[in-house]
Amino acid sequence: SLFQIDNKGNHLLVHEESSINVPAIAAAHVIKRYIAQAADELSFEVGDIVSVIDMPPKELTSWWRG
């Protein structure tokens, strides 16, 4: 297992196959709180920084992976 630190300094225990090790292609600064509505979504607080790992074309989906 690997340890990662989130943007609030909390230690995260992650499995080696976790997508947390996918290189980021962008970063997003959260300006509006969002509560996950499904198991494959992330919750965000204002001020969080999200590492974006996939940005499909807008004509395919409006969702990014982070």
Q: What is the pLDDT of residues 19-51, one digit of tens each?
A: 556 778 888 889 999 999 988 888 999 999 888
The predicted pLDDT at position 9 comes to 65
- Mean local confidence (pLDDT), 37-66: 87
Tokens of 33: 């709180």
Tokens of 11: 């230690």
Beta-strand pair 49-52/26-29: antiparallel
For residue 14, give the nearest of 6, 25, 22, 3 by alpha carbon: 3
- Mean local confidence (pLDDT), 52-62: 86
What's the CA gap between 4 and 27, in Å, rounded?
17
Please, which pLDDT band fits residue 18 given cuts at 50, 70 and 90? low
